[in-house]
Amino acid sequence: MKSLFARLRTRRLASAYVLLGILTAAIVAGSFAAHGVRGQEEQTSTADATPLKIVNSTIPSNEFVRIAKQMGPAVVNINTQTLPKQSENHRQFHGRALPLPQNPGDDGQGQGDGDGEDNFQDFFNRFFGGQIPSPDQGDGGSSVQESLGSGFIVDPRGYIITNDHVVDKADKIYVKLSTDPDSQDLGRPARVIGVDKATDLAVIKIDASAPLPTMKMGNSDSVQVGDWVEAIGSPFALSQTVTAGIISAKNRTIEPGPSGQFQHFLQTDAAINPGNSGGPLLDMNGNVIGVNTAIYTQSAGYQGIGFAMPSNTVVAVYNDLISPSHKVVRGSIGIQFREGLSDAVNRVYGFKNGVLVQQVQPGGPADRAGLKDGDIITSVDGRPVKDGDALVDEIASRRPGSTVQLGYLRTGKQEMASVTIGDRDKVFADLGGRQPQMNPESAESVGEAKLGLVVQEESQADQAKLKTPGVVIESVRTGSFADLQGLEPGLVITHVNRQPTGDKDQFDGVVRKLKTGDDVVFEVMDPHHPEQGINYVGGTLQ
């Protein structure tokens, strides 16, 4: 038996050696064969090879080609220079980049016709693309800053539409046409006719010895989500760059609060990059339906979400900027309100659609017509008002001195008032950005258990300022109901669910009756800034 196993093992080893020898021979043979093929390359005849030829395409040009050829000459490259005001020197591409929001549907801030100018300016100073040294200066050297953007001609005499942030703070502006020679020359000198920061639009002009090619303005209201669009501009200084996409959405507001009241953008996935700002967004008829303005990005480049100011807004602004005053005049009735109120506020105050007035500007049009804080505006000239955006659109489009009929609710009763429209800039000329201040003192409150806040009696000084009795918030527990509603120490609660809370006993009495599932709405004032009026906040108690 042992001898049998030995013989079998010997045979298996012999078979393995034979197989290994065969594989080795095959590899060596293949190597020699390959070497032989490569060695014969120069000796191989190509007499039977046919040379390649370019075939003329019979595919007809598409609409994108036609639009690019027809409209491209009216698109311009804009270069600006800013004289030294800082020690830093750089070249930048103009545009606006917005970081992707964590919660784009919740602005968490009040909305009105007045404050927020500082935040508004910061918003428009966010250029996408970052800061890049000029090719001729490295990290230092010349202290002149250069910027790049786009624009398009709308009048053969040289009037051009672009973004305000393209020309903002520029000391020199140059425009280069598509027909101008591609040289080191920056282009033709241009001057600013007028700007409108509320919509980030500007009109500039160059001198023209002959009529210039122009673009026509389309009707952005007729645009539908899914429509094809084409963008032309100078991304990264690459002039006459064409990209295409569709309308992804309409009526996008990307900046909360007063800064976004007049910005309701078309959203597109057509590639928009640094330098595209101020260029046109065209429909398939070759008409301008928007001015490319901003992108959402996490990388300072294109990520498929761009925004264009609708052409209907652009036309209205342009017509005002070329008027003798060179400014946009918007109507106002002199009120402030907070957008995005919770459903609990609507239920407690008894309305579904409308605008709850937070503050009436003293001496303003609404004040003279008899409106008060807490009124709910429901209609303008008989047309229902859905929300604050609708009210702003209605009133801002009216000329100062004209009259509107406002329908409003006061304590559940329908009222009417005739209001004379004022100039928005003049009505709110004395308002600026304000923030609530903190009161460090502390005291206990029965509201701690149910609402998560502690209150104390209002001081005589605060009562004199507000002319309305209330209780002062001393502390707010993190994560509590009060915290989730945005209440902060230092604010004064004057009412809860429309019930007065003029002192601590009244406040405790109202709070004791609250139970899980109840809507709770606070009327809150800031004693440090009583001119801001009442703010309404609330939600459903969980």
| Cα→Cα distances 526→387, 456, 507, 534, Å | 24, 15, 17, 8
Which has the closest alpha carbon to 440: 390, 403, 489, 500? 489
What length does the chain have?
A: 542
Residue 476 contacts residue 453 (beta carbons within 8 Å): yes
- Other C-beta atoms lying within 10 Å of the C-beta of residue 16: 10
| Cα→Cα distances 311→201, 225, 244, 344, Å | 11, 15, 18, 37
| Cα→Cα distances 508→326, 338, 363, 523, 525, Å | 56, 27, 36, 15, 19
Which has the closest alpha carbon to 218: 308, 285, 316? 285
Give 355: exposed, middle or buried? Use CB within 10 Å, 0-12, 13-18, 19+: buried
Residue 274 contacts residue 300 (beta carbons within 8 Å): yes
Residue 456 contacts residue 443 (beta carbons within 8 Å): yes
Cα–Cα distance measured from residue 63 to residue 195, given in angstroms and rounded to the nearest whole number:
33
Strand 288-296, strand 96-98: pairing: parallel
Residue 247 contacts residue 225 (beta carbons within 8 Å): yes
Residue 261 contacts residue 337 (beta carbons within 8 Å): no
Q: Which residues does 359 contact at the CB level (< 8 Å), separation at least 6? A: 112, 335, 336, 373, 531, 532, 533, 534
- Other C-beta atoms lying within 10 Å of the C-beta of residue 155: 16
| Cα→Cα distances 479→315, 452, 490, Å | 47, 8, 18
Cα–Cα distance measured from residue 297 to residue 274, given in angstroms and rounded to the nearest whole number:
11
> SS3 for 69?
helix
**Residue found under tokens 């652009």:** 314
Q: What is the DSSP string of 305-363?
A: -EEEEEHHHHHHHHHHHTSTT-S---EE-SEEE-SS--HHHHHHHT-SSSEEEEEEPTT
- Other C-beta atoms lying within 10 Å of the C-beta of residue 125: 11
Cα torsion 361, 317, 312, 282: sign: negative
Cα–Cα distance measured from residue 337 to residue 345, given in angstroms and rounded to the nearest whole number:
13
> SS3 for 520?
strand
Q: Which residues belong to the active site?
A: 165, 200, 277
